[in-house]
Chains A and B, each alone.
Chain A
Amino acid sequence: MSGIVATIIAKYNYWIYICLMMIGLYAMITKRNLIKKIVGMNIFQTAIILFYVSIGAKRGGTIPIIEHAHGGQSHAVEAVHYINPLPHVLMLTAIVVAVATLGVALALAIRIYNRYRTLEEDEILSRIRGS
């Protein structure tokens, strides 16, 4: 019984990440509104960032800032005691780039709205074919 609970605890995170990723993908594929598509793209991005960060988590580890760093005598630092910092570094830059791409995507959406006065994909297509 406890084995099942332990498995659920250990894997629940991954299941939720996959659910989030699929929600984002579904929004990008089937939603007709451009802003909704952009929200879906951001949900997809954060799901993948969450997956990367959770790879680095360590049970019993502390945050990756070395303790008592400038406190007199030096002592050996062991990797087991600190959470893996490498995924954090990679994802930190990814978040800031995500907001930059969000800005570009919204700029494109505003340009499309100014031209066709709508954000719905099917109405834009019918206006392109109609005119």
Chain B
Amino acid sequence: MIWELDMAILTLVLFCAVGAITVKDLLGAAILFGAYSFMMCLLWAIMGAVDVAFTEASVGAGVSTVFFVAAVFRTTRRTKD
């Protein structure tokens, strides 16, 4: 519950989210989404939700990034928007 840290990471989360949906490369979007998930994990650790932070660190930042990369590998990196 350190509010300065909380506000700084919230701002970073916002930048990661905007980056993940505007970058014109799907592999880049997948990696930025991984960074976004990891920032989320830090945010939950600050709020004292350790179980949720642990789950997000393993699920959101780990496995779902791998799923995204696998799906991009099986389809295409090209995107128009």
Contacts and interface: CB of A to CB of B under 8 A. Distances in A.
Interface of A: 9, 12-13, 16, 19-20, 23-24, 26-27, 31-33, 35-36, 39-40, 42-43, 46, 49-50, 53-54, 56-65, 83, 87-88, 91-92, 95-96, 98-99, 102-103, 106, 109-110, 113, 118-120
* Category for how many chain B residues contact A: 35 or more
**Minimum-distance CB pairs A-B, first 7:** A106-B71, A113-B75, A27-B21, A83-B48, A33-B79, A16-B10, A57-B47
Contacts, number: 137
Nearest to A43: B17
Q: Which of A23, A50, A54 has the most CB of B within 10 A?
A: A50
Nearest to A112: B75
B75 to A, nearest CB: 4
A118 B14 CA distance: 29
Contact of A92 (B20, B51, B71): B51
Interface of B: 1, 3, 6-7, 10-11, 13-14, 17-18, 20-21, 26, 29-30, 33, 36-37, 40, 43-44, 47-52, 55-56, 59-60, 63-64, 67-68, 70-72, 74-76, 78-81
A33 B75 contact: no
B75 A39 contact: no
B51 to A, nearest CB: 6
Contact of B14 (A16, A92, A110): A16
Contacts of A54: 47
Contacts of B75: 35, 109-110, 113, 119
